[in-house]
Amino acid sequence: MSSESYRVLIVDDVADNLFMLQNFLESEGYIVDVAYSGAIAFDKMQTSAPDLVLLDVMMPEVNGYELTRKIRRDPKLHSLPVVLLTAQVESCRIKGLAVGASDFVRKPVDLEVLHNIIKTLLERKSSREPYEFSQPPNLF
């Protein structure tokens, strides 16, 4: 499946981050939607689930951890790949993976690394390989 067939939802409360990620992913052929908050993102997912979510951890009201938990509890969304993005320390990575994130990328985002993670998760999803959320992926 080509990247043009995949829909990615980017969730971040910082417009510059959304703009940069949206431009990059669209240049790679993805269909991109954006949301400025966790609540808006969850509403959008209920209407039309994306193929993957890029989710900032630190947001007001509904943060990335809380939204990841909501996604994992929702029967329609529970297998949706979620990549958390943050500039925070390693403990945030551990917490993110513990709440069910598929992967974790530190800010500032290395776009090549992010793209490889996205491709891997989407290939796994399209091949119907189960993803074990309780085991963090090998990042090294």
* Spatial separation of the C-alpha atoms in residues 131 and 80, rounded to whole Å: 10
Q: What is the mean pLDDT of residues 56-83?
A: 94
Query: For 52-61, 67-76, 78-87, 90-99, which range has the lowest pLDDT when averaged over its residues?
Result: 90-99
This prediction has a pTM of: 0.86
Confirm if 63 and 42 have CB atoms less than 8 A apart.
no
* Structural domains for the chain: 3-126 (3.40.50.2300)
Question: Six-digit token pair at 65?
Answer: 């951890």
Residue whose C-alpha is closest to residue 38's, from 14, 17, 64: 64
C-alpha of 102 from chain center: 8
* Spatial separation of the C-alpha atoms in residues 106 and 42, rounded to whole Å: 23
